[in-house]
Structure 1
Amino acid sequence: MKAGTAVRWGSTLDSVVVYAQGALCLRLARGTVPADGRVLVTGLPRSIDPGSLRARVLGAPGVRVTEARVEVEAEPVGEGLPDELRRETERLREAYARAEARRNRQSGLIAEVAKLHPISPGRKREDPHRRTPVDAWLELADFVDERLAGLHARLAELEQAVREAEHALEVAYDREARASTDAPQAHVETTVGALLTLDGTAEGEVEVEVEYGVPGAVWVPTYRLTHRQGDGSGRLVLRASVAQRTGEDWTGVRLALATADLRRRTDLPRLRSVRIGRRQAAPAPSGWREPPAGLAELFSGFDAAGPSPASGAAAAGLPRAVGLPVAVGGAAPGGAAPRPVPPPPPSPQGFGEPVGGFPVPGAAYGAPMPAAMMPAPSQPSGPQPPGGRPAAKARTRGRAESSADGMERAEGAAPPAPVPVTGPPQPSGAELDYAALVLSGPEEPGGRRGRLFPDAAFDPVAAEHRRRAETVAALPLPGHAVRPRVSAGSFDHRFDAAARADIPSDGTWHTVTVGEIPVGLRTEYLSVPSVEPTVYATLVLSNATDQALLAGPVEVTVDDDFLLTTALPTLAPGGVRRVGLGPAEGIRVTRRTQLRESTSGLRNTTTVLDTRVHVELANALARPVTVEVRERVPVTTEPDVRIEERADWTTPQTDTGPDRHAPGTRVWRLDLPAGATAALEGGYEIRIPTGKALVGGNRRS
């Protein structure tokens, strides 16, 4: 099916779903169904994945799509934006070369002038001394100084011109590199369309939806958090940094972001039954038939005629002749004996000999076919060599020769026959795509002639477009950004943008607002004075939605003042996490410890280490705050070591709350009014046998 007679429908890009790497694009086209039902939907990018093309008819139950495939066309184009950018870059490159040449000539002139100096004439021994012309020497020195001053001034101007030309050239290079790949890159524009076959009739126009996948699109989540102190909620705006180089500009599209892998397998696994008893033959694959009988004899006349003069001249390196007579079905012109047909080349790696036009998967390299599936050999009808056998089928006889050391070696012996491949052929999906199969001609090797094979023509232009598109995966990530596939874990999520977006195909990051997510917020202050005498402000986020919040950078704004940009951890639905905001300068904390060592027991067999902890807090803020002070208590696994606590602190739960606590963590929580102070007292006793001591000494905090 060719696109020459198909009716062309223009299309509009309507929506794009960006995955972890790659995207699914959806285009809409409208038109009247022609009589033959063939329609070419134009506007597809060059980097399209041909195997991802899908099409369906919307709003017309009587019309359906029976076939869809990618069609590539080329046509010359006029001067466009890429040509202008290339011409401008070439002009600036030439200007930079001229400026550099002028600078180099000026440097060479300065070097020549600097070499000017007076040279005294040679004097013989018997010649009297001459008077030195000091005035001439001074005039030459003044001339050189004056000349060098002017040349150096001009050299400074030329160096400045070189720097300006180099800067302009770098800007042009960057502009050309960042130009959208949606425009043609050469004087020949390659257009891609979806060639559809519609079946059915409908009154008026119908709308067709074309979906296809493209590489070269990535995204990472970013956030903006707005919070007012004293308020129990906040506004968390989900944004996305999207970069794409798919070859088409996304203008006014409905954008969706997904964390799934676009290239993952989607076919269901097939569980075969295990049978005990007689072996049952595997069913033949659907859509495959045995090759027709007599296929080998179909090309006997072609083999008898020998190679055509055109192919013989091409093989000999001679110019190809046009219009020479070729005999078909008889002897070659001039009575020349036909040349034997060359043997077919070996099969590619991983496939055996073709069976009915399909390779047999799993066969070893060069393995023969089963005898039942072997095609009948073609019998040439030309003259036979002496002995009544074709030359190609002359039997090879082995003979043994004795070497100098008495060893014997066999020459011409046939190699051991490999194990034949059994079972019916198992063609792949590409081999069952009848519209993409190509009938092999008589010039093909004997195992392929007259059979259907997939058209494996390699498109280097499309491969180059896809390679360039996939370079966006190597873009450096923004600060605190995490790949969505990494932060999503074992689950996949999708986020739909609230408004349409524009993202050019330039391979750079563009920020798009996705939507607002309601989150619960509360401000807490946290201090670990045993590690650092500082109080830190934190925001405790709770996700009450049914969507996860992926890890990424978040811009925190408190009371309409930008505070900082920090990293937001992955927050599952219903999860609670803490986000640090930095030190709180308005709250001070001090800690003092006191250790007393004593003995107890009837014979003083137990050493008692009594540790007292004193913590003071002062709130200098104009509002009340909630402060959580964390302390640590020693833990032990020794049966003869006891630890007794003497404080009103609490033991946090390690499996609940926004944090994970280490064993031995103790927590004080208190509310401090504005301008108030508070003191916390705590401690613990460590009882160990007198003969033992703590590692590092007993008297330590």
Structure 2
Amino acid sequence: MTAETPHTWRSTLDSVVVYAQGAVCRRLARGSVPANGRLRVTGLPRSLDPGSLRVRVLGATPAVCVTEARVEVEAEPLGTGAPETLRREVERLREEHAAAQGRRDRQLGLIEEVRGLHPVPPPRKRDDPHRRTPVDAWLGLADFVEERLTRLHARLVELEEALRRAEHELAVAADRLARASTDAPPAHVETTVSAALTLDASSDAEAESNAQTELELELEYAVPGAVWVPAYRLTHRQGDGTGRLVLRASVAQRTGEDWTGVHIAFATADLRRRTDLPRLRSMRIGRRQPATAPSGWREPPAGLADLFAGYEAAGPRPALRPAPPAPRPATAGVRAGSASGPVPPPPPPPSVPMPPAPQGYGAPTGAFPVPGGVDAAAPAVFGAPMPAAMPAPAQPSRSRAAGRPGGGGFGAAPAGMAPPAPATPGGPPPPQPPPPLAGPPQPSGAELDYAALVLCGPDEHGGRRGRLFPGSPLDPEAAACRRRAEAVATLPLPGHAVRPRESAGSFDHRFDAAARADIPSDGTWHTVTVGEIPVGLRTEYLCVPSVEPTVYATLLLSNATDQALLAGPVEVTVDGDFLLTAALPTLAPGGVRRVGLGPAEGIRVIRRTNLHESTSGLRNNTTVLDHRVHVELANRLARPVTVEVRERVPVTTEQDVRIEERADWTSPEAGTGPEHHAPGTRIWRVDLPAGATAALDGGYEIRIPAGKALVDGNRRS
């Protein structure tokens, strides 16, 4: 067989679902099925999670299925593009700024030198008479210094102005470069990420027919570096019971690819949420027994080396990379299709110190004592001591014999415990095994991370294929891309914005945008209109005159949809005029919340109080504190309004203290209003016509024993 170059399909980004942190992208690729069933789909970003790649065939094509999908990274020289041009412009402006700063500094040095010029008289001896001061010379030097400094300062002003212009141009260019899309590579070598796919047809006839037809594939993958917060725009007309609430989303992404013309949706779920199921442990009464730690190790299957005999007999597999070296002969077992007996083992390696082999699934990090009769490749259960004696198996496992030269694997012997080579006449003595460690084997954290273990394929050699090993970490470039993408989560939020996970509570919601959107990968906030949500609106006016003599306008929002409205900023527009930006609280389906609009200058309120203290009872043993409250309202608006006046009545838990109310106010019902009321709250609801006034009178009496008094005195309003 000869290696064939796989067909290359281009893909287009079709839809994106942005979660609380991160996003799931969906790409579409279309083309004809190649004869060998192998193809490569390009266009994937560098920051994608390789383990999240999912591929499926769209349409009614049951004869074709995807049997393999993996991520491949290739590098090629980078041509000149827009980001490279911006980068060169920034470097040029930085050099100009440095030159302008150097000229300014040199001018300042000249000014300091000229400023240091001053007349110095010659030294005078003790016997010399006094000399006359050359005033003309002194004045001439002063004129020269002044003239020279004038010209130098004029030049300094020009240089400082040029330096300010250079700083401004450099700052603008650096900002443009920082805000440029990360869809283009930042280095001189362009990294191409593609998905290598293998398609399989059920029969040759169907494969030939599918090769003539178009096939559409869907690729789905997760990327970090995308966040969103909800925002709203509320349009309301006074006197109307409904409003227009537009849900918008502020999105920032630095995933490495521009989202151009994509269907976008927003979800409050967390892509990194746990998926493991909770485990309920038993409750034991009696003597304490140590809990048996679950073991992830098990005996490797017998004949693991013979599992790949047919693969080796078929010859090298066509691959994109160079063919792997010839496999080593198996140390035990018979090759499929061979009439000869077992292949003789290879000669023992020379006594050369070898580096420790990588540890695999079930292999400890060091050597440990092996009891007699137990194979060296069968470690004990993690967390439990090894038994003193164990019956030897009737026939040694072939996989263990074949897996020793390659280091530890799924059930392989630990590093440094290769079987001793037999001594040859005249040769060096076999190396001694390292000293045993005390206690049972302790696997590393990478070996216990079962989700990160990778099953080595048939192309692996040296005892690794068919065994589980910890997956290789990301290369430095991919790690840098992920760090740069995850930095979007630290962006400062817009005003009144709340993270979706904080406002969604215990439930998750998804909002699908009505139209396609464009969001560049520049790491800044962009606003996307999601859709219109019908809400019920009612304008109410609220005042608490005992706290502040001001009437506030409020909007009661009722959510009649089956989706929750998350907390976020809302821009309120009343009668076509922008009013303010308020904070909308989380509104559950069917819920009602109040949003404040600020003081209503057209409604006035005045509150007066009066306290009368007296005694009552048979022997005047009860003090009566009679509180009177008088509230006046005046509507100066051109329309009728409904005003809610809130007062408070003291509450007590003392048995000898009584409170009697004398007013027509009402107590708010618990759990029925849009907000929680404190104990003792009383409410007046008044309908005021345009230009009308109203007066409200109320009060209460506090009866306490004569020998007691209220804290801070009885006479309080």
Q: Give the shorter-chain TM-score range.
A: 0.7 to 0.9
Q: 1:93 deviation in Å?
A: 0.8
- 2:432 equivalent among 392, 404, 407: 392
- Say which of 654, 665, 678 aligns to 2:670: 654
What are the Cα deviations for residues 608-644 of structure 1, in whole angstroms up to 9, with x where unaligned? Answer: 1111111100000011000000111111111111111
- Report the CA distance shift for 1:2/1:594 in structure 2 as closer, same or farther (over 3 A): farther
What residue is the counterpart of 1:165 in the other structure? 166
1:23 aligns with 23
Distance verdict in 2 for CA 1:25–1:390, change over 3 Å: same
Q: Deviations over 1:459-482 (max 9, x none)?
A: 111111011000000000000000
The question of 1:418 aligning with 2:437 is answered: no
Give the AA of the match of 1:149. Answer: T
Does the CA contact (< 8 Å) of 1:117 and 1:140 recur in 2?
yes
What is the CA-CA distance between 1:605 and the residue it aligns to?
A: 1.8
Displacement, 1:585? 0.6
Tell whether the 8 Å contact from 2:6 to 2:38 is kept in structure 1 after alignment.
yes
Any idea what SS the aligned residue of 1:479 has? coil
**In 2, distance between residues paired with 1:54 and 1:331?**
45
Provide closer, same or farther for how the CA distance between residues 618 and 368 of structure 1 changes in structure 2, counting only shifts above 3 A.
farther
Are the counterparts in 2 of residues 285 and 426 from structure 1 also a CA contact under 8 Å? no
1:239-282 Cα deviation digits (max 9, x unpaired) = 110000000000000010000001113455688999xxxxxxx9
* SS of residue paired to 2:76: strand
Q: Is the 8 A contact 1:596 1:609 kept in 2?
A: yes
Q: CA deviation at 1:161?
A: 1.1
| Structure 1 partner of 2:37 | 37
**Greater CA deviation, 170-179 or 566-575?**
170-179
Q: 1:508 aligned to 521, 524, 547, which one?
A: 524
1:694 and 1:3 map into 2 onto residues whose CA distance is: 96
470-479 or 366-375, larger mean C-alpha shift: 366-375
After TM superposition, give the deviation of residue 339 of structure 1 in Å.
2.1
Give how far 1:82 is off.
Answer: 1.9
Matches within 5 A, 1:458-473: 458-473=474-489
1:231 and 2:231 are equivalent in the alignment: no
1:62-141 map, 5 Å = 62-141=63-142
Aligned residue runs from structure 1 range 281-680, under 5 A: 289-290=301-302, 292=304, 338-342=350-354, 344=356, 347=359, 352=364, 363=382, 375=413, 377-381=418-422, 383=424, 390-392=430-432, 416-418=438-440, 428=450, 431=453, 433=455, 435=457, 439-441=460-462, 453=469, 456=472, 458-680=474-696
SS of the residue corresponding to residue 549 of structure 2 reads coil
> Taking structure 1 as reference, are residues 576 and 450 closer, same or farther at Cα in structure 2, changes over 3 Å only?
closer
Is the Cα–Cα contact under 8 Å of residues 16 and 256 in structure 1 kept in the other structure?
yes
Following superposition, the deviation at residue 289 of structure 1 comes to 2.5
What is the alpha-carbon distance in structure 2 between the residues aligned to residue 554 and residue 369 of structure 1?
72
Does residue 241 in structure 1 map to residue 250 in structure 2?
Answer: yes
Aligned residue identity for 2:647: E
Which residue identity lines up with residue 418 of structure 1 in the other structure? P
Q: Which amino acid aligns with 2:462?
A: G
- What code does the residue aligned with 2:516 have? R
Once the two structures are overlaid, the 10-residue window that deviates more, 570-579 or 650-659, is: 650-659
Q: Distance in 1 between matches of 2:430 and 2:603?
A: 103
Deviation at 1:456, TM superposition (A): 1.8
Are the aligned partners of 2:297 and 2:382 in contact in 1 as well (CA < 8 Å)? no
What is the alpha-carbon distance in structure 1 between the residues aligned to residue 100 and residue 449 of structure 2?
65
- CA-based RMSD of the aligned residues comes to 3.8
Counterparts in 2 of 1:365 and 1:88: CA distance versus 1, 3 Å: farther
Distance 1:358 1:11 in 2: 48
How far does residue 199 in structure 1 lie from its aligned partner after superposition?
A: 1.6
Please state whether the residue corresponding to 1:10 is helix, strand or coil.
Answer: strand
Asked whether the 8 Å contact 1:358–1:431 carries over to 2, the reply is: no
Q: With the length of structure 1 as denominator, give the TM-score of the two structures.
A: 0.82
Q: How far has the Cα of 1:594 moved from its partner?
A: 1.3
Gapped regions of structure 1 (runs ≥ 5): 275-281, 303-327, 333-337, 397-413, 443-447
- In structure 2, C-alpha distance between the alignment counterparts of 1:545 and 1:287, rounded to whole Å: 57
CA distance in 2, matches of 1:507, 1:191: 22
The answer to whether the 8 A contact 2:616-2:622 is kept is yes
Which residue identity lines up with residue 234 of structure 1 in the other structure? G
Structure 1 residues 33 and 272: CA distance shift in structure 2, 3 A? farther
Report the Cα offset of residue 117 of structure 1.
2.3
Change (3 A) 1:380 1:689: same
C-alpha offsets along residues 550-594 of structure 1, whole Å, 9 cap, x if unaligned? 000000111111111110000000000000011111100011111
- State the alpha-carbon separation in 2 of the partners of residues 607 and 655 from structure 1: 36
Pair 1:193 & 2:194 matched: yes
Q: Describe the superposition over 1:482-533 as per-residue Cα deviations: whole angstroms up to 9, x where unpaired.
A: 0000000000000000110000000000011111100000100001111111
Q: Distance in 1 between matches of 2:2 and 2:589?
A: 52
Residue 363 of structure 1 aligns to which amino acid in structure 2?
A: F
Aligned equivalents of 2:670, 2:34: Cα separation in 1: 69
5+ long unaligned stretches in structure 2: 202-206, 284-293, 308-326, 332-344, 368-374, 393-410
Distance (Å, rounded) in 2 between the aligned partners of 1:544 and 1:687: 47
Structure 2 Cα separation of the partners of residues 490 and 392 of structure 1: 61
SS for the counterpart of 1:439 is coil
Please tell me whether the aligned partners of residues 613 and 683 of structure 1 are also in contact (alpha carbons under 8 angstroms).
yes
1:68 counterpart SS class = strand
Q: Deviations over 1:309-364 (max 9, x none)?
A: xxxxxxxxxxxxxxxxxxx96699xxxxx425558469599963699999989836
Cα distance between partner residues in 2 of 1:212 and 1:482: 27
Which residue in the other structure is 1:688 paired with? 704
Q: What one-letter code is carried by the residue in structure 1 that aligns with 2:583? A: A
Check conservation: 1:628, 1:667, Cα contact below 8 A. Answer: yes
Counting matched residue pairs gives: 635
